[in-house]
Amino acid sequence: MGLLWEQVIVDAADTVALGEWWATALGWVVVNNDPEEFEIRPDVDTKPGLLFVRVIEPKTSKNRLHLDFRPVDQGAEVERLIAMGAHRADIGQGSASWVVLTDPEGNEFCILSGRS
């Protein structure tokens, strides 16, 4: 018996706007554009994906699960994402080698140092 990792669920006030933001940020495709459950994947047949599920309550604290990304050029990627609407976040990381950002709804994610 084995498990297939299907997707990561992201609670969102505006599933379409947040899902489209992440699709653009990652270069992924939309596979379900339902405003209650908006799903993106690397491509139609590749999993895992991100599923944005509508919630009415606002985000109130730091996420207990977040995504880490390792770009080729950390500085360029941070600036690209900020230009798209991400924000820098201080979660107590100090002078770590990664940069903590939040998406437009405040979900934290990290941009690690560049690939070598």
Q: Are residues 89 and 50 in the same domain?
A: no
- Judge whether 30 and 39 are in contact, CB under 8 Å: yes
CA 56 from chain centre, in angstroms, equals 19
Can you tell me the mean pLDDT for 98-112?
A: 96
CATH for 25: 3.10.180.10
Under 8 Å CB-to-CB from 82, ≥6 apart: which residues? 88, 101
- Judge whether 69 and 23 are in contact, CB under 8 Å: no
Cis peptide, bond prior to residue 104, ω within 30 of zero: no
User: Percent of the chain beyond pLDDT 70?
Assistant: 98
pLDDT in tens, 86-97: 999 988 888 888
Q: Are residues 28 and 73 in the same domain?
A: no
Q: Are residues 70 and 114 in the same domain?
A: yes
Assigned domain for 41 exists: yes
Q: Are residues 86 and 113 in the same domain?
A: yes
The residue segments making up the domain with residue 89 are 65-116
pLDDT in tens, 40-83: 999 999 999 999 999 999 888 888 899 999 999 999 999 999 99
Assigned domain for 42 exists: yes
Assigned domain for 43 exists: yes
Q: Are residues 50 and 91 in the same domain?
A: no
Assigned domain for 1 exists: no
| Count of structural domains within the chain | 2
Q: What whole-number distance in Å separates Cα of residue 75 and Cα of residue 50? A: 25
Cα 16-17-23 angle, rounded to 5 deg: 85
